[in-house]
């Protein structure tokens, strides 16, 4: 089925997921919505995150998407149950990968860096309760990081200092895994490694989301059968440069448009 896969995030963070998806599924067309105008979602109340997720979903469905990836931990943990119940297409979500980190930890301590919206969600509480009873978890709200990335300040001193403030205290607890619970954060991996010294395993969920997307497309007989080059359309409701800068190293052709939504 040659309809596109829809992907949305509060901004450009979900492109870290999009990259994994097109690597595993090069034959699929994609449409990505970056709701940068409303970022950060993680500092908004749950009801607002839900209504923004509904708005994004309806736009992607109106563009003919056959499956939607909620490439945002905050939107997944606050809205995916509602979306699955109310729309008749498959949804793939992303949650902080607490389970593998907890199972693999040797020191019995893991760090979780995520937004406030994710850390305070019911789904997060449920997963944490299930898998982390036997270990110490250090949860840290990454307040401010998403806004700096959206503002194009990925390599700034300001961001580096904020990240250091959030991560350094985790070292005192002897963590051996750091879970990245926000799709913007994989773009910070070089800085994180520098701050934590490289010995701590960083876990993000991009590859797992791509594998799950493939499995669900297969199961529903929705895999693309086309033989032409794939099209990747990006829609953003702020400046298009935010997307083109963060994707300046990709080798596929993409189109980026500014859209009011
Ligand atoms: N990329 C989003 C996530 O994974 C960022 C949330 C936000 O906008 O605060 O949670």
Let me know: does 75 contact 143? Beta carbons within 8 Å: no
Q: What does the block give as tokens for 33?
A: 């919505």
CATH 3.40.50.1860 region(s) of the chain?
5-94+206-258, 98-203
Q: How far apart are CA 237 and CA 232, in angstroms?
A: 17
Asked if residues 82 and 50 have their Cβ atoms less than 8 Å apart, the reply is: yes
Q: At the top level of CATH, which class does the domain 5-94+206-258 belong to?
A: alpha beta
Mean pLDDT of 84-94: 97
| Rounded-to-integer distance, Cα 237 and Cα 190, Å | 28
Tell me: the pLDDT tens digits for 101-131? Answer: 999 999 999 999 999 999 999 999 999 999 9
Q: Could you tell me the distance, in angstroms and rounded to a whole number, from the CA of residue 69 to the centre of ligand 1? A: 14
Annotated catalytic, 72? yes
Among 76, 149, 183, 204, name the best residue to mutate to test ligand 1's pocket (greatest count of ligand atoms within 8 A of Cβ): 183
Is 65 part of the annotated catalytic residue set?
A: no
Provide residues with CB under 6 Å of ligand 1. 9-10, 13-14, 39-42, 72-74, 115, 118, 146, 182-184
Tell me the per-residue pLDDT of 41-50, one tens digit each, with 9 for 90 and over.
Answer: 998 999 999 9
In CATH, the architecture of 98-203 is: 3-Layer(aba) Sandwich (3.40)
Length of the chain: 261
pTM beyond 0.85, yes or no: yes
Q: How far apart are the CA of 193 and the centre of ligand 1, in A?
A: 21
Model pLDDT, residue 36: 96
pLDDT at 198: 81
Confidence (pLDDT) at 1? 77
């Amino acid at each position: 089925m040659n309809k596109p896969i829809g992907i949305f995030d509060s901004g450009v963070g979900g492109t870290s997921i999009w990259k994994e998806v097109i690597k595993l599924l090069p034959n699929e067309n994609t449409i990505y919505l970056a709701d940068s105008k409303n970022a950060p979602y993680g500092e908004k109340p749950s009801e607002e995150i839900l209504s923004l997720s509904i708005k994004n979903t309806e736009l992607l469905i109106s563009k003919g998407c056959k499956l939607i990836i909620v490439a945002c931990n905050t939107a997944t943990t606050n809205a995916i149950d509602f979306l699955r119940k109310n729309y008749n297409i498959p949804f793939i979500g992303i949650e902080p990968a607490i389970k593998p980190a907890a199972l693999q930890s040797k020191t019995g301590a893991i760090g979780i860096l995520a937004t406030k919206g994710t850390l305070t969600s019911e789904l997060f509480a449920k997963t944490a309760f299930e898998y982390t009873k036997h270990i110490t978890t250090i949860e840290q709200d990454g307040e401010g990081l998403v806004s700096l990335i959206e503002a194009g300040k990925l390599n700034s001193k300001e961001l580096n200092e904020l990240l250091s403030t959030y991560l350094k205290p985790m070292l005192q607890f002897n963590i051996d895994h750091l879970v990245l619970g926000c799709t913007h954060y994989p773009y910070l991996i070089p800085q994180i490694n520098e701050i934590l010294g490289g010995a701590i395993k960083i876990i993000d969920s991009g590859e797992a989301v791509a594998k799950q997307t493939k499995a669900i497309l297969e199961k529903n007989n929705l895999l693309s059968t086309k033989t032409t080059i794939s099209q990747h359309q990006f829609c953003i409701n702020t400046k298009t440069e935010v997307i083109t800068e963060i994707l300046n190293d990709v080798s596929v052709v993409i189109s980026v448009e500014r859209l009011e939504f």
